[in-house]
Structures are given as C-alpha cells and as structure tokens.
Structure 1
Amino acid sequence: MSSDLDVAVVGAGVAGLALAHRLRAAGRAVHVFESAEHVGGRMASLRRDGYLIDTGAEMIGSCGYPAMWRLIREFGMSEVEVPAIGADLAMWREGRAHPHVGDPRGLLAGAALSRVSRLALVRLLGLAALRRKEYDTDAPEATPLGHRAIADVTRGDLHDYLFQPLTGGFFGWDTERACAGPLLSHLLAVGPTSTFRTFRDGMDVLARKLAEGVEISTGVTVDEVVATGSGARVFAGGAVVNARTVVLAVPAPVAAAVHAQAPDYVRACEFRPMIKVICLLGRPVAPAGGGQSFALAVPTVENPELAGIVLDDRKHPGRVPPERGLVTLVAGPSVSAELLSATDGEIAATLTEQAERYVPGLADALRATVVTRFRHGLPMPTPAAMAARPDFVRRPPSTVEYAGDWWLLRPSSEAAVRSAELVAERLAVPRTAGVSAVARG
C-alpha cells in the first residue's frame, strides 16, 4: 500500500465495500481499512460444523430494497441465490405465538391485536399510503409526521403488541424517542413480512463479492482522520497515509470520534446496541403453540430481557446440517447496554433461560452458542438527528465524506448500499467549494 492514496475508505461493511465498488468502476483507485479481521461488518456470517450463522443482518425485502437488488443483479445472482423465506412473523401474547404479523392476513386473524387496534393500524397505514410520496426513504426527515415519536403515534395494543416489539426486537429502538416517520417510510417500502428473503449462502455473500479485487487492509484500526487543504491524513496502525478523499463508512459515533471536524449531523446520530445469542441445536425446535413462522417477536411488556427469536433453520434448509436446528435470540433494548459488559457465558445463560418459555425444549437441544454484540448496532432516528440532516445532505462535497445506513436514518442493508450510491454521486461532482468547506468535513 502506498502512503499516498486516491480514495481511502474506512470500514469494510457493505456500505464501504459498495462504495469502493462504485468508485473503482468510475476509475478511482481505492484502498479500504477495516479494524476486524474479516469483511462484512454487520452483514457477516460464520461457518461452523456445518452451521451457517448470520451474525448481523438477517434478511432483505423483495420490495423496498432497490439499491440492494441493483447490486445483486449486477453480480449476476439469481433469485435462487436470494430465496424467499416463505414464512411469516409471529407475536407473543397471552402464552402463545400469534402468526401473520406484518401481513394482510393478520388483519383478519388478529395477529395479537385487538379489533380496535387493527382498525387503528388500518387508519394509520391508510393515511400514510394516501401521502405515499411524502414518505420517501431518501428523505426521512420530511415525512408528514415530523419529529413525532413512535409511542406518540401508536398507543395501547398497537404500540405494545406491534410497533414496540418490531422496532425493539429488530432495531433496538426506544419508541419514546425514535421518530415514527422514518419507520412508516420503511414499512410502506418493504411491504408484508411474508415477502422477506435471505441469501442462500449466508448474508455475507454480497460483501464477499464486493471485496473481490479491492485492496483491503483488515485488522487495521484507523485512530484519526484530519482534513487538510488538499486532502486528508489517515492515522492507522501506527502509520500516516495521505489521501485525496477519505470516506468514513463506519457508525456515526465512530466517525465522530475519528474525525474531530465531523458535521453536526454525524454527532447527532445515535446508535443502539444489539446483542444476539445464536444457538446451535441438536434438533429443530418450535415456538409454543406451533405454527410455521420463522421469527417470534416478544413485547417488552411480556419480557424486557428477550426481544425476539429467529428460527434460522426455517429461513433456509441449508443453514443447518440434516435434522439439526439453529435459533437466534435477541436481547431486549432495555437490557442490551447493560449486557455489553457481561461475559459471553453470562449473556448466553440469561437469554437461553428466558427463551425456554417461548421455545420449549431449547435447553435440551442446545449444543453450543455464539454470542455477537454490536456496541453501535443500528441507527435510531431521533429528533436531533432529523433536525440536523438537511444541512448535512446539502453541504458541498468534501475531502472527508461519510457512508452507512445512518446516512438515511434507516437501519438496513438497503440504506447502507443506497448511501454508497449517493456518496459516489457526490464524489463525481467537481469540487468548487473553498478551503473552509473542505476543512468542515
């Protein structure tokens, strides 16, 4: 690696790799720095004893993921390689799992909601659909709901047995502080949960394809990035590298710590921790009450410690050896921060003990566990971030840029890849800003 680079990308998650891919196609020379020993970030997978384990992202949408599908088709992948999961999501209430959550069938079957709450849901989504163009996932701050919190927009059962468990279990959000507009934009875009898909060969397959041919230094931590008049300096692994452009494709709190000149929006973006326990089982298990759902959401009012259970062996049969099982347990948003300092054994013991109530026989079937923890798990759309975003988007191109799902306040691989497209467009614009704009980052 030369000490003088054209573009230095910090972070080999899907955002950083997608950006490197786009820039290389445009003729730019790119080098990627990654602190971990592998690529993929929050979209990585492990392979152990015949089990295929997704450590971060679990699925993508058939709809609402256009940037992801552009990449998938660009690499010549067929729908066989990105199969439909073919099962739905269930909600726990009153001692059993209620299927068809997030699916039109749920409005008829109940899906753990009272009749009044189902009517409130139809009204909420119906009014949003009438103003569909104003719920743009590229402009999360501009929805008709403004900065109203999820807990303010949804009440009673609708909050406790739908919106809180969905956002808490899948995103780790605090519904008292997370804004509802970006969530509704996401829900309108992706449609029913029964249309979700996964990558047959692991959620890291796209990251691995993107990494091919890219110069990547893994196991190298970037400590500081300093903008200069003609570029930026990268302090990494005890060395100093000069680059014409640096892109921080890392969680916003990390970007703010690395680059002291980061814009207000970067500092306003808040991330929530995520902790998972992946259980390698000697046989398949099923939620109490049966059913064919691939995931079970557990409301905080039912259990504050366990937010969700994903039956990975139902996502695709190739995830496990024959007649084995694979289950992921997701820690509740109210305890995740506390569990970050616990040992893997303590985390596994806590969540598996809680899960036995919902998945009987889990303890007897358990063979091994894998604990994954992300201090900066997923971005949460707070009022402060929403207010600061317009200036961030309008700022002139700089020698220090940023990429990641937080760019769009949408916790998804789609937002990560879409941010890469938007940043690539920014870097293609001739720089006409003065030194003061460059120094701002």
Structure 2
Amino acid sequence: MSPDLDVAVVGAGIAGLTAAHELQRAGRKVRVFEERGHVGGRMHSLRHDGYTIDEGAEQIPLHGYRATWELLARLGVPDGDVPRIGRSIATWRNGRARPGVADRSAVLTGAGLSPRARLDLARFLVWTALRRKSFDCDHPEETPLGAATVREFAGRYHRDLHDYLLQPVTGSFFGWNTARSTAAPAVSLLLAVGYAASWRTYRGGMDLLARRLTEGLDVVTGSTVRQVICDHDRARVVLGGSGETRPGDAGQGDVVTARSVVLCVPAPVAARLYANAPEEELSFLSACTFTPTLKVSCLLDRPLAPPSRRPLYVLLTPEAEDSVLSGIVVDHAKHPDRAPVGKGLLSLMANARSIPKLLDTPRDQIAARLTTAARRYVPGLEAAVRHTFVHSFVHGLPEATPEALRRRARFVTRGIRPVEYAGDWVMLRPSSEGAVRSGALAASRVLSRLPRLRPADRIPLKEVTL
C-alpha cells in the first residue's frame, strides 16, 4: 500500500519550512504539521495596534549566513526587504552604556573593557585569526578549543573578557550559562558573522522568511503530533487522539504514513516523539539540552532608548551588573516599521539564570519585574509603557554542552533512515542560519534514500506571487 506522503515534516519553524521547501522543489509530496496556530517558531512576529513585535530576538548578519542569503535569493526576496540595522551594541558598566561591542574599534575604545583586558582582546583576536580555518560553524567539534566551556576558555584571559564580553554576548544572544555551554560553537559563530555594522533585519517582522517559505507549501497548523514510529522503509505519524501509546502502537489518533519523516522540533521533543529511535541517535538527542528564553515587549508612547553617545540597537547587561536582565533591544531602532511613527518598542530580555523561576509566574508580574529592572537603563520607561507582551519558549536555545559536542561527530555520520532531524541544535548553532542549514541538510539526506521520480510523478511547484 502506498504511503500518504513522500515526506511528513513535523514543526513549522525555519528548519521545518526550509526542509519542506527544498523537498517540494525536488517534486516530492510534502506536508508540514505544526502544533501552534501559526508558523515561524521562535521567529514568529506578533502584530498589535500598528506595532510589529518579534517574539525572538534575531538579526541577519551579512556574513556567516550563506545558506540564508541563498534561500532568500531563491525566494525572490529583494535586498531592500533585508535592510541594515546600522546601530551600535553597548555593554553596561559602572553606571553607563559603553558602545562598540562587535565593532572594529573595540580594541581601542574598550566597549566596557579595561585597558588590560583590551590587550587580551587583541591577543585573542590574533590567536583566532591565525587559526581561522579551524573554526568551522558546521563542525564546532573540530576546533582547537575542544570541549572547553565559555568560562573555561575565558579563564585564559583577563577576567573582563568573560564578565563584560563573552558572558553578556552569549548570555543575551544565546541565552547561555557560560559554565555549561562550550566556547567552540560561540567563537566559530562570532568569527563568521563579523562586525555588527553589517547586521541586518527583516522588513515587516522577523517572520518574513517563514511567511515566504510557507507560500505554496501544504502546512497544517493546530495539528498535534503525538508519536512517530519507524516501520522499516517508511514511518507513521500519529496525530491528535488521547491515551498512552507504546512503540509500534498507532494509538487512537489519526495516522499519516510517509516514506520519510523529518522531526524539526527541539531535541528533547524529538526524543519524546520518536517511539523507536535508534540508541545511537538518542545518545546525541539526550545530550542536546536547551535553555528557556523569556522576554517582555514594551509598547511605548514615545521612542525611548538607553542613553548613549552612539545610537543603540542593543544594550547588554552583564551578570556582573544585573541578575534580572540580560539585555534590552531597541526594536524601533532595529527598523522604523516595528513601531508607529512617534512611538517606541523595547524588548527586555531576561537573564538566563532567572528564567526558570519566572516561567510559572503570572505574566503581569513578569512584565512588572523586568520593566522595573529596566528603569535603571531607560529613564522615563515606566511612564511611557502603554502595553506589554510576554514571550517565552521552554525550549529556547540549544546549550551546546561539552557532552553534546563530544557526541555530535557520531550523530553527523549516522546512517540514513526514514526518520531525519532538523533544527539549530543539529548544528549546535543557536541561530536561524543553523536552522536553515539543518533543514537543507535533512532534505538532502531524505532525497538520497527516496527512489528517483519520473517526470510524470513530480508534484508541480505552486506558483508564488512575488
């Protein structure tokens, strides 16, 4: 009996939509199942009263995001829809913002670093420049840093490099605890993306890529996948229903059969859904832990921002200075379309260590705590706030622990089976580029095991209005 689909994709985040897009381009019959009521995952954008609110804090660097830019070109997204941000990143220290983080001038201006630490920053930059080819974002397990954590690696240098550079950068952008996550993926990614002056955003919201990928795809939102079962040369996807299921038991929900299934969900979710996953795959999945993320979007009646001698895009608040916040994103500076004319929009990002205690707190209390903490950096904030939204992801960002790094090589070289995986955790690269690359990789692995299509069997591409 023929399967219902060539490929079932579980999860409509960027990884899942990329995989589905590539598979459909190859003429395959693909359907995407998404539990939430919308696509985009951590890159979803919310619209409210003229504001465009990005649920996840992201940017699109000009460098180090080759797969993303190639995908945008194939989708026909013009350069004007991915404009440059053009604002500075600052670190808070000793009562004021210190701009210049991720700028070429950081060694000279300090960007929050002491004079001795600047010398060590120069030494670090020379060391990485001499070994640049060894830092491959696709193979972080092969760098000279081994499985050293960010904190262990930073111990080679002046304390400021950890406290006022590596910790606030990885804590804010990756949500990492530097004692748990490895330095290799972080250093590889920072070297690849380069200086902040080239970073860009999406016009109309960070979900632009997700919206464009969805056009022409068969996507079912509000569809809960309860279990995935591999049956020799194909797989079953159990949807909805209720009650417990065992490996090999379809349970009470609807069942969709497919030649291949791509699990585009966080590793802990994939391990739970895949009923009869091979032990060698579960080994890596179990090591791929995630940190939760939480932020509060503040809709303002005027465009406030942390005071600085240079206009800011992000203010990083190191753990050495703040135990509640990890950073503040000035969204109306990221792009003017994020807020109505004359209004403002700020994102207050919670410190990773404080998030577990906040997740079960009522949302109005979360908003109050973060906005109270942010008054220190944004004068007049309390009076300007007109509305707040709280955004949280239990599986926010992959941690890239030493154990995950050690187990990744075996996972990457595993055999090709009916069930594949995609997500930034596959690359140990917490970014949308990691999601895009993993989606494309999963699609190529799926296609390598499916029988060749005759021209008459290909599913015609749906027309996409540009």
TM-score, length-scaled by structure 2? 0.90
CA contact (8 A) 2:259 2:450 kept: no
Identify the residue that residue 375 of structure 1 maps to in structure 2. Answer: 394
Q: Does 1:98 align with 2:98?
A: yes
CA distance in 2, matches of 1:368, 1:94: 30
The aligned runs of 1:37-186 (5 Å cut-off) are 37-155=37-155, 156-186=159-189
Q: Does 1:417 align with 2:432?
A: no
Letter in 1 for 2:263: L
Deviation at 1:431, TM superposition (A): 7.0
Within the candidate set 225, 230, 233, 1:230 is matched to 233
1:165-184 CA-partner distances (Å, limit 9, x unpaired): 11111111010111111111
Q: Does 1:245 align with 2:260?
A: yes
CA contact (8 A) 1:305 1:354 kept: yes
Identify the residue that residue 438 of structure 1 maps to in structure 2. Answer: none
Deviation at 1:3, TM superposition (A): 7.4
The aligned runs of 1:294-313 (5 Å cut-off) are 294-313=313-332
SS at match of 1:170: helix
Deviation at 1:281, TM superposition (A): 0.2
Deviation at 1:337, TM superposition (A): 1.3
Letter in 2 for 1:348: A
1:309-331 CA-partner distances (Å, limit 9, x unpaired): 00000011111111100000000
CA distance in 1, matches of 2:239, 2:118: 53
CA distance in 2, matches of 1:143, 1:71: 27
Q: Does 1:388 align with 2:388?
A: no
Letter in 1 for 2:270: A
CA contact (8 A) 2:290 2:396 kept: yes
CA contact (8 A) 2:98 2:111 kept: yes
CA distance in 1, matches of 2:267, 2:121: 33
1:206-261 CA-partner distances (Å, limit 9, x unpaired): 10110111111101111111111121111111211111111000111111111133
**Residue 3 to residue 237, structure 1, CA distance change in 2 (3 Å):** farther
Letter in 2 for 1:245: S
Identify the residue that residue 258 of structure 1 maps to in structure 2. Answer: 273
1:318-375 CA-partner distances (Å, limit 9, x unpaired): 1111110000000001111111111111110110000000111111100000110000
Q: Does 1:188 align with 2:207?
A: no
CA distance in 1, matches of 2:143, 2:226: 37
Within the candidate set 205, 218, 232, 2:221 is matched to 218
CA contact (8 A) 1:22 1:421 kept: yes
CA distance in 1, matches of 2:233, 2:191: 43
SS at match of 2:77: coil
User: CA-atom RMSD, angstroms?
Assistant: 1.4
Bigger Cα displacement from structure 2, 97-106 vs 275-284: 97-106
CA contact (8 A) 2:57 2:173 kept: no
CA contact (8 A) 1:72 1:206 kept: yes
CA contact (8 A) 1:57 1:413 kept: no
CA distance in 1, matches of 2:445, 2:19: 11
Letter in 2 for 1:230: D
CA distance in 1, matches of 2:312, 2:106: 13
Q: Does 1:6 align with 2:6?
A: yes
Identify the residue that residue 335 of structure 1 maps to in structure 2. Answer: 354
Within the candidate set 202, 205, 215, 2:205 is matched to 202
Identify the residue that residue 399 of structure 1 maps to in structure 2. Answer: 418
Identify the residue that residue 293 of structure 1 maps to in structure 2. Answer: 312
Identify the residue that residue 436 of structure 1 maps to in structure 2. Answer: none
Identify the residue that residue 30 of structure 2 maps to in structure 1. Answer: 30
Bigger Cα displacement from structure 2, 405-414 vs 146-155: 146-155
CA distance in 1, matches of 2:396, 2:443: 24
Identify the residue that residue 364 of structure 1 maps to in structure 2. Answer: 383
CA distance in 1, matches of 2:445, 2:133: 24
CA contact (8 A) 1:274 1:375 kept: yes
Letter in 1 for 2:356: A
Deviation at 1:286, TM superposition (A): 2.0
Deviation at 1:58, TM superposition (A): 2.3
CA distance in 2, matches of 1:311, 1:246: 39
CA contact (8 A) 1:397 1:431 kept: no
CA contact (8 A) 2:418 2:446 kept: no
What percentage of residue pairs aligned between the two structures are identical? Answer: 52
**Residue 190 to residue 7, structure 1, CA distance change in 2 (3 Å):** same
CA contact (8 A) 1:284 1:325 kept: yes
Letter in 2 for 1:154: A
Bigger Cα displacement from structure 2, 49-58 vs 370-379: 49-58
Q: Does 1:426 align with 2:429?
A: no
CA distance in 1, matches of 2:230, 2:408: 21
CA contact (8 A) 1:68 1:414 kept: yes
Deviation at 1:289, TM superposition (A): 4.2
Between Structure 1 and Structure 2, how many residues are aligned?
431
Which consecutive unaligned segments of at least 5 residues does structure 2 have? Answer: 242-253, 452-466
SS at match of 1:111: coil
Letter in 2 for 1:364: A
TM-score, length-scaled by structure 1? 0.96
Bigger Cα displacement from structure 2, 407-416 vs 147-156: 147-156
CA contact (8 A) 1:89 1:194 kept: no
Bigger Cα displacement from structure 2, 380-389 vs 272-281: 380-389
CA distance in 1, matches of 2:276, 2:153: 36
CA distance in 2, matches of 1:294, 1:199: 14
Identify the residue that residue 338 of structure 2 maps to in structure 1. Answer: 319
Deviation at 1:430, TM superposition (A): 3.4
Deviation at 1:427, TM superposition (A): 1.6
CA distance in 2, matches of 1:223, 1:375: 18
SS at match of 1:257: helix
